[in-house]
């Protein structure tokens, strides 16, 4: 059934949660602190939390409210593997591969631990994340990635759809051995509440418009209501990082990704798909499609198209383009024809940083300004984990092995290839072209017949 997109609620924030009603005060006048963290996503919150735990005088400065950025808007998959195409990463960065795999695994463990220790109510289900194949070619890619992951010390189990309990519309896949899925909006709300209750000072509604080092070495942050003077600063602004002169050229580019959520679905219909594990699934297209069930009985569908931001400041009031939402709904109905009457009810999007290497990065600018970009689709666990490692580095110079693996002493970055409008369009077209011949529609139809038969029997 084709849907009129005017019936879909298109959000400029997130569909996972509403904005908080207890906004914290903005910076007014001059604020001084030992460490200022700019950006209150999971990265900045993880950094600040650790700095506060270590007794630092820390202030967190956020343009809107903690969790405003991609941290509350993403698909909610906690992955225990690096983002991007592992075959390409191995080809271009063989020496860093092991470090990236171990970092991703530790990051998932770290976030699981935080959710448990802080008792954060975020619907976390530790059922892994599955890389899945819609075709034999994609299955070869899954197997190649699984071999790379395991040889670098990662965890993953390869199997058919039946063996893994993933929808029959997929040939099979690999379920990662750590991680799972959660409601990212609720997770950010939980982290935010913990931070507000901590010794850290939290300033919301405060956009930093400039970052400069003074002659005495202190760093001065300019904001509309005043200044923040800090001995040390951590930049944790992800997609928005290119806004200041101080940021290295080509650190990252901003990409806008969207998520769409269906109306509630009868759980029996979801089970009839063969989705017994309820594990979230990511297809092996060049630009993935992902699908996951939620605690509210819906399915969230993500990505398939990437829009590149071309200038700063990034538009804050951007809602998803209805045509892209329509495309996600089409992808959902193509993979799951037995749910072709189920409609998308809401959609939202967010800005995420992509690095040209597809590797998470961290480093220092001058002596007392730290930065990190934990991105490429798997930052939900990596950003707060790396943030906590950066905090330790800020306090006493500690260099954890996982941080050392992504640390850059000289922040020089290669140019971005294929990330222009034409490049992204070409990658998308290659995915659609491959879909013409890979038999995925036939497989999805057979899966739908099996689902309908299972429902008739129940």
Instruction: Catalog residues that contact ligand FAD under the rule CB under 6 A.
Output: 38-44, 61-64, 68-71, 73-77, 79, 207-208, 236-240, 243, 257-259, 302, 349-350, 352, 374-375, 377-381, 383
Least Å from the CB of residue 28 to ligand FAD: 15
Nearer to ligand FAD, 272 or 371 (CB): 371
Closer residue to ligand FAD in complex, CB, 363/377: 377
- Smallest gap, in angstroms, from Cβ of residue 261 to ligand FAD? 12
Q: Which is nearer to ligand FAD, 223 or 338 (CB)?
A: 223
Of residues 272 and 331, the one with the C-beta less far from ligand FAD:
331
Complex with ligand FAD: residue 172 or 185, whichever CB lies closer: 185
Task: Report the distance separating Cα 78 and Cα 380, nearest Å.
Answer: 7
**What is the closest distance, in whole angstroms, from the C-beta atom of residue 110 to ligand FAD in the complex?**
13
Q: Tokens standing for 46?
A: 């993880």
Q: Which residue has tokens 């040390």?
A: 232
Q: How far is the CB of 457 from ligand FAD (least distance, A)?
A: 34
Query: Which C-beta is closer to ligand FAD: that of 73 or that of 168?
Result: 73
C-alpha 60/C-alpha 199 separation (Å) is 11
In whole angstroms, the minimum distance from the beta carbon of 445 to ligand FAD comes to 28
Say which residues have a Cβ less than 8 Å from residue 5's Cβ, sequence separation at least 6.
322, 323, 325, 326
In whole angstroms, the minimum distance from the beta carbon of 456 to ligand FAD comes to: 34
CA distance 332 to 318: 23
- When the beta carbons of 76 and 173 are compared against ligand FAD, the nearer one is 76
Residue among 71 and 346 whose Cβ is closer to ligand FAD: 71
CB 284 within 8 A of CB 431: no
Query: What is the closest distance, in whole angstroms, from the C-beta atom of residue 215 to ligand FAD in the complex?
Result: 24
Residue 104 Cβ, how far from ligand FAD at the closest point, in Å? Answer: 9
**Least distance CB 282 / ligand FAD (angstroms):** 8
Q: Give min distance, CB of 135 to ligand FAD, in A.
A: 23
Instruction: Let me know: does 360 contact 373? Beta carbons within 8 Å.
Output: yes
- For ligand FAD, the closer CB: 161 or 247: 247
Smaller CB distance to ligand FAD: residue 42 or 86?
Answer: 42
Closer to ligand FAD by Cβ: residue 240 or 336: 240
CB of 239 to ligand FAD, least distance (A): 6
The phi and psi torsions of 116 (rounded to 5 degrees) equal -70, -50
């Amino acid at each position: 059934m084709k849907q009129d997109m005017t019936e879909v609620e298109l959000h400029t924030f997130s569909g996972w949660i509403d904005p908080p009603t207890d906004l914290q005060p903005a910076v007014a006048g001059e604020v001084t602190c030992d460490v200022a963290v700019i950006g209150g996503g999971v990265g900045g919150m993880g950094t600040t939390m650790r700095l506060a735990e270590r007794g630092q005088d820390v202030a967190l400065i956020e343009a809107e409210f903690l969790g405003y950025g991609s941290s509350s808007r993403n698909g909610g998959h906690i992955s225990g593997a690096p983002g991007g195409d592992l075959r390409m990463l191995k080809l271009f960065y063989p020496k860093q591969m092991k470090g990236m795999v171990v970092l991703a695994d530790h990051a998932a463990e770290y976030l699981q631990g935080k959710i448990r220790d802080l008792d954060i109510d975020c619907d976390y289900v530790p059922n892994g994340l599955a890389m899945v194949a819609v075709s034999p070619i994609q299955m070869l890619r899954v197997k190649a990635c699984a071999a790379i992951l395991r040889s670098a010390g990662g965890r993953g189990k390869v199997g058919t759809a039946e063996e893994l309990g993933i929808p029959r519309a997929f040939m099979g896949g690999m379920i990662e051995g750590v991680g799972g899925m959660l409601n990212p909006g609720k997770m950010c709300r939980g982290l935010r509440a913990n931070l507000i209750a901590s010794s850290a000072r939290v300033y919301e509604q405060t956009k930093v418009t400039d970052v400069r080092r003074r002659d005495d070495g202190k760093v001065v942050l300019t904001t509309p209501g005043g200044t923040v003077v800090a001995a040390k600063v951590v930049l944790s602004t992800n997609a928005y990082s290119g806004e200041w002169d101080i940021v290295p050229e080509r650190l990252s580019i901003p990409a806008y990704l969207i998520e769409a959520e269906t109306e509630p679905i009868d759980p029996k219909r979801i089970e009839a798909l063969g989705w017994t594990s309820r594990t979230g699934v990511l297809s092996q297209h060049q630009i993935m499609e992902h699908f996951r069930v939620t605690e509210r009985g819906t399915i969230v569908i993500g990505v398939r198209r990437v829009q590149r931001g071309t200038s700063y400041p990034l538009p804050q009031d951007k809602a998803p383009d209805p045509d892209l939402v329509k495309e996600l709904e089409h992808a959902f109905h193509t993979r799951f024809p037995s749910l072709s009457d189920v409609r998308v009810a809401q959609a939202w999007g967010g800005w995420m940083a992509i690095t040209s290497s597809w590797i998470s990065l961290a480093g220092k600018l001058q002596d007392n300004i730290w930065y990190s970009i934990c991105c490429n689709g798997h930052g939900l666990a990596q950003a707060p984990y790396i943030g906590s490692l950066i905090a330790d580095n800020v306090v006493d110079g500690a260099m954890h092995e996982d941080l050392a693996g992504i640390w850059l002493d000289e922040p020089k970055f290669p140019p971005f290839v294929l990330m222009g409008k034409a490049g992204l369009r070409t990658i998308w077209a290659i995915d659609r072209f491959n879909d013409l011949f890979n038999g995925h529609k036939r497989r999805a139809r057979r899966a739908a017949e099996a689902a309908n038969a299972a429902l008739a029997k129940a």
